[in-house]
Structure 1
Amino acid sequence: MSLRLSTVILPYRRWQEGSRAAWQRAEQLGFHTGYTYDHLSWRTFRDGPWFGAVPTLTAAAAVTERLRLGTLVTSPNFRHPVTLAKELISLDDISGGRVTLGIGAGGTGFDATVLGQDPWTPRERADRFAEFVPLLDRLLTEDSVTYTGDHYAADEARNIPGCVQRPRLPFAVAATGPRGMRLAARYGQAWVTTGDPKLYEDGTPEESDQAIRGQIERLADACAEIGRDAAEQERILLTGFTPDRARPLESVDAFVDFAGRQRELGITEIVVHWPIPDSDFATDEKVFERIAEEAPAQLG
Structure 2
Amino acid sequence: MRLSTVILPTRRWSDGGREAWLRAERLGFHTAYTYDHLSWREPFRDGPWFGAIPTLTAAATATERLRLGTLVTSPNFRHPVTLAKELISLDDVSGGRITLGIGAGGNGFDATALGQEAWTPRERADRFAEFVPLLDRLLTEESVTFEGSFYSAGEARNVPGCVQRPRLPFAVAATGPRGLRLAARHGQAWVTTGDPKLFGTGTPEESRAALRGQLEKLGKACADAGRDVAELDKVLLAGFTPDRPLESFDAFVDFAGRHAELGFTEIVVHAPIADSMFAADEKVYERIATEALAQLR
Q: Do they superpose with TM above 0.5?
A: yes
* Residue of structure 1 equivalent to 2:12: 14
* Residue of structure 2 equivalent to 1:35: 33
* Residue of structure 1 equivalent to 2:264: 267
RMSD: 0.5
Query: What stretches of structure 2 of length at least 5 have no aligned partner?
Result: none
Match of 1:253 among 238, 250, 254: 250
Q: Deviations over 1:65-105 (max 9, x none)?
A: 10000000000000000000000000000000000000000
Q: 1:17, CA displacement in angstroms?
A: 0.6
Q: 1:227, CA displacement in angstroms?
A: 1.1
Q: 1:291, CA displacement in angstroms?
A: 1.1
Q: 1:252, CA displacement in angstroms?
A: 1.3
Q: 1:13, CA displacement in angstroms?
A: 0.5
Q: 1:4, CA displacement in angstroms?
A: 0.2
Q: 1:286, CA displacement in angstroms?
A: 1.1
* Residue of structure 2 equivalent to 1:174: 173
1:50 aligns with 2:23: no
Q: Deviations over 1:215-256 (max 9, x none)?
A: 001000000001100001000000100011xx2112211100
Query: What stretches of structure 1 of length at least 5 have no aligned partner?
Result: none
1:236 aligns with 2:223: no
Aligned-partner residue type, residue 118 of structure 1: E
Q: 1:201, CA displacement in angstroms?
A: 1.1
1:135 aligns with 2:142: no
* Residue of structure 2 equivalent to 1:114: 113
* Residue of structure 2 equivalent to 1:80: 79
Match of 1:43, SS state, is coil
* Residue of structure 1 equivalent to 2:221: 222
* Residue of structure 2 equivalent to 1:70: 69
Match of 1:155, SS state, is strand
Q: Give the distance between the partners of 1:49 and 1:184, measured in 2 at CA.
A: 32
Q: Give the distance between the partners of 2:4 and 2:143, measured in 1 at CA.
A: 34
Match of 2:69, SS state, is strand
* Residue of structure 2 equivalent to 1:283: 280
TM-score, normalising length: structure 2: 0.99
Q: Deviations over 1:136-184 (max 9, x none)?
A: 0000000000000000000000000000000000000000000000000
Q: Give the distance between the partners of 1:22 and 1:136, measured in 2 at CA.
A: 30
Aligned-partner residue type, residue 185 of structure 1: A
Match of 1:236, SS state, is strand
Count of residue correspondences: 296
TM-score, normalising length: structure 1: 0.98
Q: Deviations over 1:33-54 (max 9, x none)?
A: 0000000000011100000000
Q: Deviations over 1:116-147 (max 9, x none)?
A: 00000000000000000000000000000000
Q: 1:287, CA displacement in angstroms?
A: 1.3
Q: Give the distance between the partners of 1:13 and 1:136, measured in 2 at CA.
A: 30
* Residue of structure 1 equivalent to 2:163: 164
Aligned-partner residue type, residue 290 of structure 1: R
